[in-house]
Structure 1
Amino acid sequence: MTTVLEQGVALAAGAAPAADPPRTRRVAPTRRLLWPIGLVLPLLLALGWEAAVSLGLASGRLMPPPSRILATLWALAASGELWTHVWATGWRVAVGFGLGAAAGIVLGVLSGASPLVRRLGDPTLQALRAIPSIAWVPLFILWFGIFEASKVALIAVGVFFPVYLGVMGGILSVDRKLVEVGRVFRLSPPALARRILLPAVLPELVTALRSGLGLGFMFVVAAEFMGASEGLGYLLVDGQQLGKPDQILAAIIAFALLGKLADSVLVALTGPLVRWQDTHRDRL
């Protein structure tokens, strides 16, 4: 295995550094076999509540048993109503996430790379970040109306801030010695960004995107309270107004499943970007 010094000498002489023998990343077999353990706790809670209602220990009026919730989900899915609401919510989150993530990445890069931009803009953005999501609702309705634009804008605001903070923080936390090594080897600014800054920021970016996606699903509930006629948030409000706790819980479960699916897709898409990492997590 070549040392860092030997590689540095080779680079200084203009030669390509000697390559280390390829490493094969081993994934522990238990990692693939133990994932169902995460289902044990919710299944035990569901079976316990089902048994409590069946034995008459609880009424199940305000907190229906899992069998009634699953029956409601099945009825909504069979009628096609559930898929209409899932599609509406998923479309809003996808568009809002794309807009908010793009803006967060651009402003995060500018703030992280430029002290002047950071001093000018970051205090204002930090103040805006403290505003509750529901406070934006009347303003966005006034600006964009009660249709899709106001809902997408609210979701984009929720996604923007964690992505912005993650990207800016990732750039600011890059080890100064790495940048200095790049300058010693006379890397151009684009090469410095591509070979040093970008790989160092990617793990923080992936985490920030996942956080932003989670907040996007939180903000879509507030967005769908703004006069929506479709979406899982509307299904929640409809269940509340009609006094249907089984419909409310069915919508909550649908939110959880849709959010988990979206997060898994995001992890799968961004996984190749950080595959170069050799972390302790990969050996568990």
Structure 2
Amino acid sequence: MSQQGHLAGIDQQRSRQRFHRVLLGASVPLLVLLSWQLLGHLGVISSLLFPTPLRIMNAAIRLIQTGELYDNIKISVARALSGFLLGGSLGLAFGILVSLFRRTEKALDPTVQMLRMVPHLAIAPLFILWFGIGETAKVLLIAKGAFFPLYINAFLGIRGVDNKLFDVTRVLGFSKWKQVIRLTIPGALPHILLGVRISLGVSWLGLVVAELMGSTAGIGYMMSDARQFSKTPVVFVGILIFAVFGIVADSAVRMLERKWLSWQDSYKGH
């Protein structure tokens, strides 16, 4: 067999493997949806509490046609990304700073760990008093949640880098900045990317809390408004939106992991 044919066979095998992974991952949700639709059609479950997937789909189509869904998604995504970028970047910066210097760790880490234990719902009323019910309070609440996963994982990743590598960089005459760029961050990258995945998830959770505290737009507001008028299908549309955007964001980071961490020979499971 020629080399070109061999490569084509490898590509086909990889395509089949990707198709099987997608099929396997979709099998459970499809089974749940089919069972749900059947039970709702037969009247086994309440149509008010658990509207069938077809009713939920029809509600989503109506929201798309009126433009309401797009407008609310646009506002929610902007809030989530703003909070994630603010909190995540600060978490990464503080994580690197605290992990590199013992004095900084002793000075800052106890305070950070104490703040980490304060729940979103407990601090939300305080943010409203400080910043009102505008965008600032919502973005800061999301940023508060996005900060800690990146802070902790950056800290653990850098502290997990082999100390002998730092000795080598000192022998080679690396400056502190070059040491951070060429050794510290690449060595801690697996932990940092894990922190990004967790921070994105927490940002979506924080968005729900943020949009329930006096919002007039956004997916959380749309769900709260629908709940008041017993529009259960719209509530399920909102839940589905959060789930879809959450898995898309997580998949994007996992793609970066596969690209940037391809050098890792780690266990993939059987």
Please name the residue that 1:46 is paired with.
Answer: 33
2:192 to 198, 205, 209: 205
Partner of 2:157: 170
Match in the other structure for 2:19: 33
1:56 paired to 2:50: no
Write the letter of the residue equivalent to 1:64: P
Aligned-partner residue type, residue 146 of structure 1: I
1:31 shift after superposition: 3.7
Deviations along 1:96-131, whole A, 9 cap, x unmatched? 111001110111011000110111111111111011
Which is richer in helix? 2
2:197 maps to amino acid: R
Matched, 1:120 2:107: yes
Q: Which has the larger radius of gyration?
A: 1
How far residue 280 of structure 1 moved from its aligned partner, in angstroms, is: 3.4
Kept in 1, the 8 Å contact 2:190–2:257? The answer is no
1:75 matched residue in structure 2: 62
Aligned to 1:104: 91
TM-score scaled by structure 1? Answer: 0.85
Overall identity of the aligned pairs, in %: 36
For 2:215, what is the secondary structure of its paired residue?
Answer: coil
> SS at 1:57's partner residue?
coil
Which of residues 125, 128, 136 in structure 2 aligns to 1:138? 125
Structure 1: distance between partners of 2:178 and 2:152 = 24
Number of equivalent positions? 258
Amino acid at match of 1:191: K
Quote the Cα distance in structure 1 between the aligned partners of 2:26 and 2:259.
27
Amino acid of the residue matched to residue 19 of structure 2?
L
RMSD, aligned CA = 2.0
Decide whether the 8 Å contact of 2:40 with 2:50 is kept in 1.
no
> Amino acid of the residue matched to residue 165 of structure 1?
I
Which residues in structure 2 correspond to 1:152-167 (within 5 Å)?
A: 152-167=139-154
In structure 2, the residue matched to 1:9 is none
Q: How far is 1:279 from its partner?
A: 3.0
The answer for the alignment partner of 2:252 in structure 1 is 265
- Shift in Å at residue 262 of structure 1? 2.4
Per-residue CA deviation, residues 39-67 of structure 1 (Å, 9 max, x unaligned), is 11111111111111222323322111111
**Structure 2 Cα separation of the partners of residues 91 and 191 of structure 1:** 34
Over 3 Å counting, the alpha-carbon distance change for 1:94 and 1:113 in structure 2 is: same
Q: Distance in 2 between matches of 1:220 and 1:139?
A: 16
- Give the match for residue 16 of structure 1: none
- Distance apart, 1:174 and its partner CA: 1.1
Structure 1 gaps of 5+ residues are 1-25
C-alpha offsets along residues 197-254 of structure 1, whole Å, 9 cap, x if unaligned?
2211111111101100100000000000111111110111112111121111111001
Write the mapping of 1:214-233 to structure 2, written as runs, cut at 5 A.
214-233=201-220
Q: Contact 2:158 / 2:188 at 8 angstroms: preserved in 1?
A: yes
TM-score by length of 2: 0.89
